[in-house]
Every structure is written in C-alpha cells, then in structure tokens.
A and B are shown apart, each in its own frame.
Chain A
C-alpha cells in the first residue's frame, strides 16, 4: 500500500495515532482517542497573554536576583543572602560544579526559556511575521521546560526556613516575594500555552 499524503494529518506524540486535522475552536480541548494525551487546547488571546506574562516574569527574575532574598539574625550577628549567594554556597571545594548546575536550574534556564518564548510569541501576539529562527527558539524553550526549576527551588526555600526557624530569626527579603510571584506567573503561563497552536501559527505566518 502506498503511503497516503501527509498534509493535513497530525500524529499523537505519545502513541503515534494518526488524525486528520480540522479547525479546533478556542477553548476546545482535543484529546487523543487512544491514549488521552491532550493534542491541542487553544485559548482565545493566549499569545498576547503569554507574551505579557513572560515579560512580567522576566522583570521579576531580574528583581529576584538583585535584591536580598533572606536575612538571618542570631545573637546580634546578621547574615543577608541573595539568590546568588545560595548558588555560590557550593562554590568552594569538591562541590564547585554544583554551583554552575544550580545557576542553570534556578536562574539561567528559566530566564533563557522566558526570552525564547518572548522571541517566538512576541511577534505572533502583535500579528507580525515570526522572527528568524523562531521555530528553533520555541523548540528549545520546550526542551528546557523540565530543567527550569524555579518552583522546585521555592519549595526548597520553604523547607530550609523550617530548618533554621529554631536556630535564628529569619526575615524574608523583597526578592523572596518576587520569586514567589515569578513562580505563580510561570505556572499560569505554561497552563494556557497550546503547543500545537503555536506551531501551526508559526508555519502559517511563515508561509504568508
């Protein structure tokens, strides 16, 4: 049997089931009938909202890195630490490579991901043609997703606070709240993003 024409078909990324693509309305959810994976869930105005949320998250990231994060005081001694201090905690001795890993997981990858999303979705939200290499930027943004661990870091901070509570008095700095807000915005942004819609819009705009 000769292979059919692939145009207008989509395959489920999880189980390879083949579907003929039809227009999927806003706020509809298309699931794979075989495995249940969400194939598409477009939302109206999502591109604009994601772009704004990503921009806000990027500003918060800058604030979270530059302001004091936590302040600890015990018997007149004060210790102020920023996110950068937490990253550099591993910098001496045998655990030095871990500093680089932490910098990547907590700050660099989340920031890179936000930049890549802005680069891809920004022009799309404004109705422009996609910029050069937008497909590459978006593919990498998706690849980075599991490795951007800002929300895991915040839970780690909460656990650390409980651990030092008996030892000293802790004051939460402005960067702490910036980071919490950043996490909430990131989660919200990822929940309204529909991969298939982004890919379709990218290729349609390129063709026109």
Chain B
C-alpha cells in the first residue's frame, strides 16, 4: 500500500474528495471540517471548498508581474563608473558581460535566474490557468508537477537583485570605481514578488477537479 497508515475514507473503492463527501478540507493543516465552517478549528486558516476567486487573483498578479517585467528589461540594472566613465548594464547586458569575461557558468546562472525562470514562469502559470477550461496535452500529474516546480523555483529569480545590492554596497571607491543600482532592480524585484503571489494564488485542487469532470 502506497499510503502507509492512511485508509481511503469510508472504505470506498474509488478515492473520494472532501468536496464529494460534502466536507471541507484545510489546505494548511489537512484537518477536515463540516460544510459551512468558516475557519479551521485546528489551525485557524480560512476554509473554502474551492477558492472561487483563485483564478482571478492568479491573473491579476500575473498581469502585474508581466507589466513590471517590461521596464525591468529596458532600464539599467547596474550603473558602473570607472574613472569618470559610466556604463549602464541591463539584465541581459550583465549576463553577456560575464560571458565575455569567460565566466560561462556564472553567466548561465544569471541568465537562468533573470530570463529563463521569469519567462518560463509567465508561460507556465498562464498554461495552468488556461488548462482548466481548455483541452490540454499535459495530464493532471504533469500539470501538478509543473505547479510544484513553479512554486519552488520562483524565488530563485531574486538572485540578480541580491547581486546588485552586494555589488553596490561593496564597490564604492569614489572616482576609481563605483557601482550603483539602477531602477530596473526595483521593478524586477516587484515582478518576481508578483509572479510568486500569482503562483501561490493558484488552487492546485482545480487541476484535479477538471480531470475528474473529463473522465466522467
């Protein structure tokens, strides 16, 4: 038996969901409450069989994240001045600079954290939200895994913001060399935070509900 120590509720051959049984499951602690309960008696979390505003919030944060991501790429992330000569580096420019110096590994990390992960996240969240209404190629296990990956990996995009902060704190040698943060650091950080909120707003139970409907 895969689920050690756990039995199907009510001994039914088919797995039953809390909603099917007319009950409410708590997403924070797993406790099951009777329908109509407002807050979980064990942990105090707000209970909802399915969060009706989940998708609206997903799309609202998603759009906010996308809007913040545009200036993050257009404006400079880093202002480097050496002997009076000022250079402005955008996100992509910074990664290219590292590659020019031969630091391919680090360039790849920065590129993945600032370009691949954010863009991949926008696509993945949009796909997950749309897949609830439209037919999809990816099964429920695939989409469940995708949501897990998106939730896990999102925060790692913050790397570049931290890099800018450390460089700006360290390299303050007046005329010889000074590094200052650009406005893109702020909009990029906002974009990462918004997409994290978007992924968190997604109720993964919706993936499994949709599949159930299809198979009936």
Chain A interfacial positions (CB closer than 8 Å to B): 1-4, 6, 9-25, 28-36, 39-40, 70, 72, 74-75, 77, 79, 81, 85-90, 94-95, 97-98, 101-102, 105-106, 135-136, 138-139, 142, 146-147, 149, 152-153, 155-157, 159-160, 162-164, 166-168, 170, 195-196, 199, 202-203
Contacts and interface: CB of A to CB of B under 8 A. Distances in A.
Nearest to A154: B162
Given A18-B9, A90-B186, A79 B162 contact: no
B3 to A, nearest CB: 5
A153 B19 CA distance: 41
Interface residues of B, number: 79
A70 B3 contact: no
Given A11-B26, A160-B170, A6 B33 contact: yes
Interface string B3-33: 1111111100001111111110111111111
B23 A156 contact: no
Given A9-B23, A13-B25, A79-B170, A3 B43 contact: no
16 contacts: A3-B35, A9-B9, A9-B23, A11-B32, A16-B208, A24-B6, A28-B4, A33-B3, A81-B169, A86-B162, A86-B165, A139-B43, A155-B159, A156-B160, A156-B161, A156-B162
B42 A156 contact: no
Given A14-B205, A39-B3, A86-B169, A152 B156 contact: yes
Given A19-B8, A79-B171, A196-B30, A160 B163 contact: yes
A36 B144 CA distance: 10
Contact of A202 (B25, B42, B208): B42
B18 A31 contact: no
Given A79-B173, A199-B43, A16 B19 contact: yes
Contacts of B65: none
Contact of B5 (A30, A70, A85, A90): A30
Given A16-B208, A136-B44, A11 B169 contact: no
Nearest to A18: B9
Contacts of A168: 171, 173, 177
B186 to A, nearest CB: 5
A11 B171 CA distance: 52
A89 B168 contact: yes
B21 A98 contact: no
A74 B171 CA distance: 10
A28 B103 CA distance: 44
Contacts of A163: 98, 106, 163, 167
Contacts of A20: 6-10
B136 interface: no
A25 to B, nearest CB: 7
B68 to A, nearest CB: 12
B172 interface: yes
B169 A88 contact: yes
Nearest to B182: A95
Contacts of B42: 135, 199, 202-203
A72 to B, nearest CB: 5
A146 B195 CA distance: 12
Between B8, B42, B170, the greatest number of chain A beta carbons within 10 A of the residue's beta carbon is seen for B170
Contacts of A142: 28
